[in-house]
Chain A
């Protein structure tokens, strides 16, 4: 299923746990420093709007080519659960419609997804090379000086970026489902 930014609430609410999606449009990277900053009242840099937007938990490897243009050479997801204390508030405050990461998130984020109409999209952990191929352009970078390259906000064009809905806007989490099912299967085998 193809989705593109900006995402609207109705489309996001239709996404279900287990749906494979391909994302086209703009995503903003953000990890620990950005989440802490925004959750503690920090303002988005001028020119950045997350309304209907996507945050990608990723610290990309970005180089400047000979012509002086930024190029992403590796861009896999980083573990999302570290942002659990902040993510729910950020989704609600800035109108974020999707978060991409790996490993899934917990109850507060799931509740915020349900309340505000947002989803968690799981990318393939470790697939740095494949995912970098789906990033076609670096549009801009913010907070590069303030937070350093991996922690900066990179505004990226993506085309058919693959991910799986693992937490939807209806309160379902694939992570919870798989955990409970595997726990029950294990109990039968002990």
Chain B
């Protein structure tokens, strides 16, 4: 499993130090859009410079290297236990190399043993697929933006949201309003309509694995995504909440079935330091190509 371990260390390095192309393009477009000479434009300039510097120095884009979340698609018979061990060893090694900050705290004792290993750290999601190859995606999810995520239970009287798409729209836009710039905006929303509380949040996170420039194949959801994106960018919250034209870089929405009694809208917020990468691997663990 040594090849696996080395490959995963490289996946972690690349995820932590290099923003994916689709996000980079969205950030450049946002910089163009902001009025020259405003504090919003200078914030975007610093963000752009920071992205270039991190890549050049192979250093973390943001010092909060976040929760380490792996999403693994693998064929039947793939040794998930061995993979988990390799991933844990890689996380520890990547921490020693400084690609990850010592960022994981025991919730009971408050202790940080500096390894980034512990219950739920890292988190691995396995999915079996028909393909013979293995695909691993990695997301480093920062704390500041995770803190502004929200889950609404509809109907919600406070925001006058009923159990319909209009109600979902109100809930999602309320989350944008409440978040302001606190999640290090401009950000990206991953949203799930429905599900139980845990599934709702899980699905909202996996929406953040989608490319920013893709379109939702479900017409109603595609419409809602574009509508939320445009409306949020008309609110004037702007980068860092300084005011400005770019509040969000993207919105991705999915659904999960719900029981008749529940109607959750779960929203995960990803900061501009959008760290996700992925690769296809051969059976020995060699990286074949990058996904984003």
Contact = CB atoms under 8 A, between A and B. Distances in A.
A182 B62 CA distance: 27
Interface string A125-136: 111111001000
Interface string B33-44: 000000100110
Contacts of B39: 18, 20, 164
A125 B57 CA distance: 19
A98 interface: no
A162 interface: yes
B94 to A, nearest CB: 14
B236 A181 contact: yes
A65 interface: no
Nearest to B241: A178
B242 A74 contact: no
Contacts of A164: 39, 43, 240, 242
Contacts of A174: 241-243
By CB atoms of chain B within 10 A, which of A75, A177, A183, A190 has the most? A190
Nearest to B54: A129
Given A186-B235, A190-B170, A190-B173, A126 B181 contact: no
Contacts of A190: 160, 170, 173
A76 interface: yes
A59 B235 CA distance: 32
Interface string B239-251: 0111100000000
B257 interface: no
A189 interface: yes
A181 B50 CA distance: 29
A126 B49 CA distance: 12
A116 B104 CA distance: 38
By CB atoms of chain B within 10 A, which of A76, A125, A183 has the most? A125
Given A126-B62, A189-B231, A103 B182 contact: yes
B236 A128 contact: no
Contacts of B62: 76, 126-128
B237 interface: yes
A156 to B, nearest CB: 15
B271 A126 contact: yes
B144 interface: yes
Interface string B85-106: 0000000000000100100000
In the complex, the 4 A-B pairs of residues with the closest C-beta atoms, listed nearest first: A125-B184, A74-B63, A126-B62, A128-B63
Given A20-B42, A125-B184, A181-B243, 18 more contacts: A104-B241, A122-B242, A124-B46, A126-B50, A126-B184, A128-B63, A129-B60, A130-B49, A130-B50, A162-B42, A162-B46, A177-B243, A178-B180, A178-B237, A178-B241, A182-B177, A189-B231, A190-B170
